[in-house]
Chains A and B, each alone.
Chain A
Amino acid sequence: MADAITEQFSAPLTFNWTLSYQCNFVCSHCYSRDEVAEELPTEKIKQIVDLLVKQQVPFINFGGGEPLIRKDLLEVTRYASDQGLNVSMNSNGWLLDHATAQQIKAAGFKSVGISIDSADGASHDDFRNKNGSFARATAALDALHAVGVKTTMSSVISRFNFKDFHALLDLARKHQVTQVYLHNFKCSGRGFKNREDLDLTPQEWKDFYVEALQVKNDTDDLLISFDDPVIASLPGYEENPLVKGSSCGKLSLHLRPNGDITPCGFIPLVVGNILTDDFEELWYNSPVLNHMRNKEAKGKCQGCGVYQDCLGGCTARAFATTGDLSEPDPHCWK
């Protein structure tokens, strides 16, 4: 790609937005569960929405924490979707019954992702440290489908489920999900503390992705997505042709509950605050963002034949394990 990111994009396409770190679960892998941050009142949140509209950011995705814990989630969503923003969220599904699904639909949500990490109910409950969470999560998918909200399913691939992803796909089909995200595990937060138990070896990641890419390319009744740049070297990979490497800081940014901007939820480097700093100044000139957009090969990436496509893999993982954004992704098998 000849052109710098900011020459092509005047703002990110997506803001991943954490309104609150509060959560009713304590999942063993969670990158955000131990975080705390001051939360903004509704009118400040609406101010941010106005700003995103002005910057022509088309998508916001609420994460967290558990978004449904914020009492004003639906109000904020209505406000944002009335101005043309495409709003989605990720939820653990616990608070999402039929009545809430109807309110979600009325608020204008374009889609809702429910996190399900195993097709076996007991294993899911165990992983998420919450009895009954599988039953509620699948019921949430059904309730959303029943009221006509598009659903997606998010499954974090870890040692605990990587051999059973076929069953996750079947579960998605059973609940009429349109898209399954097989998220790669990030060693951040609780995920960092528990990484010995949860992370795969580089060879296991490679084997997983070779198989999963094959399945993805052979599947036409379900969209299967990965968001892992380290797979750029594998046959059958051809996603996001406009941006190589991690898309954080290029196509997406993350907002913390107090309005601080980080490149993504997994990288705890604050580049500025959306309410108090000039957004364009941050977008074009932030040293952290520009570093991420113009990484230079380090270590084994130097001389690697696929560097142009992979750009060192997942920047968040490299940073979490080495403190350096440019080091090779620890998941890399090369």
Chain B
Amino acid sequence: MNLKRKGREGEGLTLLERNPQIVWRNEKRREEKVLQGLEAGEDVAEHGTVILMISGMMHQLNLLGGMIWNLCDGSRDEEQIVDELLKEFAVERELLAEDVADFIQDLLKRDWLTYG
């Protein structure tokens, strides 16, 4: 299911927005540690840097997920989010775009993100 296309064609909406019902927090210290780990070549994919509280349950987003989450403030579409992330990560655009698309699709399905 391509929700992004659906949003575009259906309502012309492309800007990604966090569900305002979700309470969340950046874990700054944690993020610093994870960034250090990343530089040292460690696998940090499982380490949460953003926590979300949803219906009494807690969820964590890893570094990339957390960055995407922070960027979904209603001012950017998916492409622009990839643009922003490319400033931080030295990876091929295509690869990054794929990861970003997967992540966003997943969160759209969960209603944690919407097109605004």
Contacts and interface: CB of A to CB of B under 8 A. Distances in A.
B60 interface: yes
Interface stretch (A6-14, A100-108, A301-309, A320-328): A6-14
B31 to A, nearest CB: 10
Contacts of B24: 58
Interface string A212-226: 000000000001010
B25 interface: yes
Contacts of A3: 47
Nearest to B48: A8
Interface in A229-246: 239-242
A54 B29 CA distance: 14
A8 B56 contact: no
A225 B56 contact: yes
Contacts of B47: 3
A10 B56 contact: no
A47 interface: no
B53 A223 contact: no
Contacts, number: 40
B23 A223 contact: no
B95 interface: no
B58 A7 contact: no
A86 interface: yes
A240 B48 CA distance: 15
Interface in A48-94: 56, 58-59, 86
B30 A58 contact: no
Interface in B27-47: 27-30, 33, 47
A52 to B, nearest CB: 12
Contacts of B57: 239-240
19 contacts: A7-B30, A8-B27, A8-B30, A8-B60, A9-B51, A10-B30, A13-B51, A13-B53, A58-B23, A58-B24, A58-B53, A59-B53, A86-B23, A179-B56, A223-B56, A241-B58, A242-B51, A242-B58, A251-B58
A-B pairs, top 10 by smallest CB distance, nearest first, are A58-B23, A242-B58, A56-B25, A10-B29, A10-B27, A86-B23, A58-B25, A8-B30, A7-B30, A10-B28
Interface of A: 3, 7-10, 13, 56, 58-59, 86, 179, 223, 225, 239-242, 251
